[in-house]
Chain A
C-alpha cells in the first residue's frame, strides 16, 4: 500500500519536473546551461577513460579513430543542441512574415545586406524555399533582394556555423560567415541590376499583390522556449545521424589516410583547376551542412587548401540540383542559369582569393 503511495508521489514530482520549462523557463535555462557546461568541460576526460579500459593497442590507428569518434561526436551533438535551442528561440522573433515586411520596398544595396543577414535568423527549410520566394515577390520585395535572402538562408545557418566552429575552429567559421554573406549580397545585387523580372514564370507575375503588413504574435518566454525545443526536435532529430556518419568518415580519414594525402589533389600547390573542379563536384552532391562539415575538417587536416575546401562546401550547400528543379516551377530557364552562374562565380572567387592569400 505504502509502495503505491510512494509511486504516486514519485510520478507527481516527475510531472512537476516536466512542467518546469513551461512554468519557470528562465530557471530551466539556467539549470540546463549549468549542467551542459559541466558535461561539456569534462567530455574529453570521460572519452579518454572509456578508451583506456578498452582492450586495444592504445597507440594504434583504431584507438586514434575511436578516440576521435567517442569524443568528437558527443561534443558536436551537444554544441549543436545548445545552439539550435537558442536559435529556435531567436527565430521566434523573426517569422518569415515579419522579415518580408522589413524587406518590402527596400532599395538595393542596403536591402541586399539586410536580406542576407535576415537569412541567418529567419527559420528556413529548403522545402519552403519556393513558397517563400513567391510570398516575398508578391509583397513587393525586389527580386534581387529576394535572391540575397534565398542564397544566404540555406548557406549561412546556425548548423553550418556551429559545426565549423566545433570541428575546424572559430576563425574559419567567422570567415565562412563573412564570405557566405558577401556572396549572397553581391549575387543578389547583380541579379537585381539585370532586371530579370520578365524571367519569372508568367503565373507568378500575374499573382495578386499582397499587403506585407503582419500582426506580430504575442509570445511568452515559455512559448519561445517551446519553439526552441521544437527546433531541437526537428533539426537535431534530422541531422544527428548525418553528423555521426560524417564524424565516423572523418575519423576514418584521420586514422587511416596518410598525412598530406590530400595536398596533392586539393592542396595549394595543385593546379588552378582544383577550385572549379571542387565546385562542379559539389553541385550534384545533395547534402546539408551537417553531413559535409566533418568531412571538410578531415580533408583540411590532410593538407587540402582552405579555399578549395570552402568552395566545395558552399557549392554542396548553396547549389543543389533538386533545388533547381523546384525553382524551375517559378523561374524561367534564363533566370535559373543566371542564378547558378552568379552564385558559382562568387564561390569561385572565394576559393581563389583564399588560396592566394592564405
Chain B
C-alpha cells in the first residue's frame, strides 16, 4: 500500500489535488492511504516552497499547483 501525503495550508488547489488522487486511485483500484498535512511546520520539514505538494512514501514527487491527471496516473 502506498502512503500519499498532500501538503498544503488548505487552499482550493490543495483540496482539488486530494480529490484528483482519490478519484484516480479508486478508478484504478490501487490501494492507497492519503493524508492531508496542513500544519506549516510539518510542511516545511519536507523542504517544499510551493504548495500543494505531493509526497509518496516519504519522497516529494510534486510541488506547486494541481498535478496533471497523467502525472498522478504515473505515480500510482
Interface residues in chain A, defined as those with a beta carbon under 8 Å from any beta carbon in chain B? 96-97, 100, 123, 125, 127-128, 130-132, 134-136, 138, 203, 207, 210, 230, 234, 326, 329-330
Contacts and interface: CB of A to CB of B under 8 A. Distances in A.
Interface of B: 8-9, 11, 13-14, 40-41, 43-44, 47-51, 64-66, 68
Contacts of B11: 125, 127
A231 to B, nearest CB: 8
Contacts of A230: 65, 68
Contacts of B51: 127-128, 131
A96 B50 contact: yes
A127 B13 contact: yes
Main secondary structure of the interface of B (DSSP, over half): loop
Contacts of B41: 203
A203 B42 CA distance: 12
A135 B64 contact: no
10 contacts: A100-B49, A125-B11, A125-B50, A125-B64, A128-B64, A131-B43, A131-B48, A132-B49, A135-B44, A203-B41
B13 A131 contact: no
A35 B44 CA distance: 45
A216 to B, nearest CB: 15
A330 B44 CA distance: 12
A185 to B, nearest CB: 22
A296 B65 CA distance: 29
A136 B65 CA distance: 19
B65 A131 contact: no
Contact of A330 (B40, B64, B66, B68): B40
